[in-house]
């Protein structure tokens, strides 16, 4: 059962008798060491956290999320030294970690035995990331363990960007939820892999833009589109790149650039900047056309659309630049790969 929520925002439901944050992170770390599950804030989305070195704890993650065992987990570390316990880090990976950690970059690297096979679904690689959130870092440091954490949503559903989102779907499975406020980025980390020549490719566009990566790499990494992933059978390398993912429970359609918005009370619409008239529910990602704000609002908007009683959802893609690449990726997946 959910014991309580750890709240640093000091607003709303913060109870004056709650112990200070340090004590609460300590308590969450004890839960981690006892093999329990914790809701962990990160700058991208909230994670469903457990001790990555414990087979049983990792299996509990798959059970709570109803996640298929072929879909491997990301392991969160507090620094490069901890990453070295988990994986073999090549020179380029090291350079990227120094440039972008803590931050929304996940690197797929050869796994060390310290990480049980359950984490990586039997692959010989493990995905590593150092989250840029003080409470996530405090939890990892306090527990002195790498922490496995997929997004804290039921499998295939919309990722959570607030503690409340986590509570709605997974509250009963957790020892506690650390409330670190709304996630500042709002889309998951960018996942990269290395080919045999150590050339980087992007497996999942995310919170770190391809432009920022290119600047450090000195070349533009190829982004494996969903079509390429399916065509090249990369699913076996990043099994989580399933076409239908992040999907609301209501059918989602993508509006083509030349299409009119639909009208009628059965429709809900998700627009980039401008309100849509004549529909039952309308969400706007950013009235100013700010792509950073659009990413922050994406998953909460999709959740509100799902919770409204519309029968169909129509969404518009955003400009395909910067974080827009990750936003459009999630919108296409929400529409089942359309």
The overall longest dimension of the chain from CA atoms, in Å, is 57
Measured from the CB atom, is 74 or 175 closer to ligand TXA? 74
* Cβ neighbours for 54, distance < 8 A, ≥ 6 positions apart: 35, 116
Measured from the CB atom, is 281 or 303 closer to ligand TXA? 303
Element (H, E) at 163: helix 163-170
* Cβ neighbours for 168, distance < 8 A, ≥ 6 positions apart: none
Could you tell which of ligand TXA, Mg ion, none binds residue 118, using a CB distance below 5 to 8 A set by kind? none
CA distance 130 to 217: 19
In the complex, the smallest distance separating the C-beta of residue 45 from Mg ion, rounded to whole angstroms, is: 7
In the complex, the smallest distance separating the C-beta of residue 157 from Mg ion, rounded to whole angstroms, is: 9
Place of tokens 């070195």: 53
Could you tell which of Mg ion, ligand TXA, none binds residue 54, using a CB distance below 5 to 8 A set by kind? none
Contact window for Mg ion (CB under 5 A) among 148-156, 163-171, 270-278, 302-310:
148-156
Measured from the CB atom, is 106 or 151 closer to Mg ion? 151
Which residues are near ligand TXA by CB under 6 A? 42, 44-45, 47, 71-74, 106, 108, 120, 123, 125-127, 129, 131, 149-151, 188-189, 191, 203-204, 237-241
Residue 151 near Mg ion by CB under 5 A: yes
**Quick count: other Cβ atoms within 10 Å of Cβ 171?**
16
In the complex, the smallest distance separating the C-beta of residue 240 from Mg ion, rounded to whole angstroms, is: 7
In the complex, the smallest distance separating the C-beta of residue 264 from ligand TXA, rounded to whole angstroms, is: 34
* Burial of 295 per CB tally in 10 Å (0-12, 13-18, 19+): buried
Could you tell which of Mg ion, ligand TXA, none binds residue 205, using a CB distance below 5 to 8 A set by kind? none
In the complex, the smallest distance separating the C-beta of residue 121 from ligand TXA, rounded to whole angstroms, is: 7
CA distance 89 to 63: 30
In the complex, the smallest distance separating the C-beta of residue 286 from ligand TXA, rounded to whole angstroms, is: 21
Question: What is the number of the residue whose Cβ is closest to ligand TXA?
Answer: 240
CA distance 14 to 18: 7
**Nearest CA to 198 among 217, 174, 175?**
217
* Cβ neighbours for 12, distance < 8 A, ≥ 6 positions apart: none
Measured from the CB atom, is 74 or 130 closer to Mg ion? 74
Q: Which residues bind Mg ion (CB under 5 A)?
A: 151
């Amino acid at each position: 059962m959910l014991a309580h929520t750890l709240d640093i925002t000091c607003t709303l439901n913060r109870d004056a008798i709650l112990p200070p944050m340090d004590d609460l992170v300590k308590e969450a770390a004890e839960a981690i060491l006892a093999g329990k599950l914790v809701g962990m804030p990160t700058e991208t989305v909230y994670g469903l956290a457990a001790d990555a070195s414990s087979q049983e704890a990792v299996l509990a993650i798959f059970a709570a999320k109803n996640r298929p065992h072929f879909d491997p987990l990301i392991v969160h570390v507090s620094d490069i030294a901890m990453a070295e316990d988990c994986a073999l880090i090549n020179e380029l990976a090291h350079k990227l970690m120094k440039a972008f950690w803590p931050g929304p970059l996940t690197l797929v690297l050869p796994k060390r035995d310290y990480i049980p096979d359950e984490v990586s679904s039997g692959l010989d690689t493990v995905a590593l990331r150092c989250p840029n959130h003080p409470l996530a870092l405090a939890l990892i440091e306090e527990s002195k363990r790498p922490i496995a954490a997929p997004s804290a949503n039921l499998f295939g559903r919309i990722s959570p960007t607030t503690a409340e989102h986590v509570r709605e779907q997974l509250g009963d499975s957790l020892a506690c939820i650390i409330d670190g406020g709304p996630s500042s980025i709002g889309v998951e980390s960018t996942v990269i892999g290395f080919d045999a020549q150590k050339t980087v490719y992007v497996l999942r566009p995310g919170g770190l833009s391809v432009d920022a990566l290119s600047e450090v790499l000195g070349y533009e990494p190829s982004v494996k589109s969903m079509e390429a992933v399916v065509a090249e059978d990369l699913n076996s390398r990043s099994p989580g790149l399933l076409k239908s993912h992040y999907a609301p429970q209501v059918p989602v359609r993508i509006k083509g650039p030349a299409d009119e918005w639909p009208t009628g009370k059965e429709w809900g619409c998700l627009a980039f900047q401008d309100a849509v008239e004549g529909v039952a529910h309308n969400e706007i990602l950013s009235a100013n056309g700010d792509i950073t704000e659009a990413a922050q609002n994406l998953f909460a908007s999709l959740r509100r659309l799902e919770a409204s009683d519309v029968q169909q959802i129509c969404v518009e893609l955003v400009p395909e630049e910067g974080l827009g690449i990750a936003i459009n990726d999630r919108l296409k997946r929400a529409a089942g790969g359309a």
